[in-house]
Every structure is written in C-alpha cells, then in structure tokens.
C-alpha cells in the first residue's frame, strides 16, 4: 500500500515540476565589470556590451535581489544592447506563459541618462529575435519595480532575449537596470 502512495505522489508532482522553466543566473550574479555578460547569458549584437553593476559608469544603485544586476544602454548612433540565454526547455506554441523582472533607471550612467523601454523576444537560436513577446513603456523611475509579462508564443521558442530600446523613433543616450528575473511559468488563460 505504501508503494501506491509513493507512485501517486510522483505522478501528481511531475506536472507541477514541469510547470516552470528556470533561468540560469536570474539575478545576474557575477563580478561587477563593464562590457561583459554574466554567467549563463550571451551578449547579443555587434555593439552589445552589457555592464554588470553596481560600479561601472558611475552607477551606485543597490540590487533588487542578490548583490549584482545588469545595466543596458541605448546610444545616439542607433545602437543598443541586449542579452539572452538558451532556455532549459522550449516554450510551446499557443501555450500561456508568465514571467517577471525588476527594472529601474540609473540617475547617472555617464551621460546615458534618458529612460528606455525593455523588449522581450523569443527565437529559435542564440540571439534570435523572431517573435516579440512583450515590451514595457519607458522605465523612468530610479527605484526597483516589478514588471510582469503574460504571453503565448506563436511558434516554439528556444531562446529568450532581453533588449533595451528607444522610446520613440529618434536615437538617444539612455539606460535601464535589470534584476530579479522569475522563472517562466505556465499559466492558465482566463
């Protein structure tokens, strides 16, 4: 009879275990340094040089979670920064997922001081941005705030990309700070 309960427990626990897709290093813990990507993450794009904060470019903010966080910038020469990682399990088409992260803006980032928005992309390979999964409005606050995304990809997503981007059409110098990413969770649509 006790084997029955063990097997039943395992069978019912499996769907809950598979309901989350964990991210590697979701709080960007790594030795602070400019122009480097943290463990578990890929810097994407020719001019994408994320900064592990605090300490680089005059940023002295405290982390939302752990000791460190990432800073991304956009530039007046129409270049911007983004990073991503291969998911441990792919996101399935038409399935509902939820995801959150904490965002802020540094008061001073060596002249890159305008607010920017974040775009979340999905793709099939490293740094692929084939499907926009969500975006924020301008991040113009200097305290950490949690942002939540709910999305249902139209195709299989194997790679997640987080991108800093301009608000409006004209390029400028701006920054965004990112920390405390959640796991990707399967959600039930209402």
Q: Do 110 and 145 form a contact (C-beta atoms < 8 A)? A: no
Q: Do 28 and 68 form a contact (C-beta atoms < 8 A)? A: yes
Quote the pLDDT of residue 120.
98
62 phi, psi to nearest 5 deg:
-90, 150
The radius of gyration of the chain's CA atoms, rounded to the nearest angstrom, is 18
The dihedral built from the CA positions of residue 181, 184, 185 and 190, taken in this order, carries a sign that is: positive
Quote the pLDDT of residue 12.
47
Quote the pLDDT of residue 36.
84
Quote the pLDDT of residue 45.
82
DSSP run (H or E) holding 104: strand 97-104
DSSP 94: T
Q: How far is CA 14 from CA 8, 19, 20, 91, 123, in A?
A: 10, 9, 11, 17, 27
pLDDT in 10s for each residue of the chain, 190 residues? 555 444 444 444 444 445 799 999 999 999 888 888 899 999 998 888 899 999 999 999 999 999 999 999 999 999 999 999 999 999 999 999 999 999 999 999 999 999 999 999 999 999 999 999 999 999 999 999 999 999 999 999 999 999 999 999 999 999 999 999 999 999 986 5
Quote the pLDDT of residue 6.
46
Residue with tokens 């992260």: 101
Domains and CATH numbers, the chain: 2-186 (2.60.120.260)
Distance from the Cα of residue 124 to its chain's centroid: 17
């Amino acid at each position: 009879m006790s084997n029955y309960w063990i097997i039943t427990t395992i069978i019912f626990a499996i769907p809950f275990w598979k309901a989350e897709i964990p991210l590697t290093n979701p709080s960007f813990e790594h030795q602070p340094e400019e122009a480097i990507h943290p463990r578990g993450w890929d810097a994407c794009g020719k001019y994408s040089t994320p900064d592990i904060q605090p300490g680089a470019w005059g940023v002295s903010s405290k982390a939302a979670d752990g000791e460190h966080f990432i800073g991304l910038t956009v530039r007046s020469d129409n270049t911007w920064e983004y990073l991503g990682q291969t998911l441990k399990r792919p996101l399935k088409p038409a399935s509902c997922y939820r995801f959150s992260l904490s965002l802020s803006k540094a008061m001073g980032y060596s002249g890159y001081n305008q607010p920017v928005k974040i775009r979340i992309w999905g793709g099939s390979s490293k740094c692929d941005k084939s499907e926009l999964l969500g975006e924020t409005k301008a991040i113009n606050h200097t305290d950490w705030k949690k942002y939540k995304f709910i999305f249902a990809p139209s195709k299989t997503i194997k790679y997640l990309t987080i991108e800093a981007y301009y608000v409006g059409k004209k390029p400028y110098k701006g920054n965004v700070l990112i920390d405390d990413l959640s796991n990707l969770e399967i959600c039930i649509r209402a």
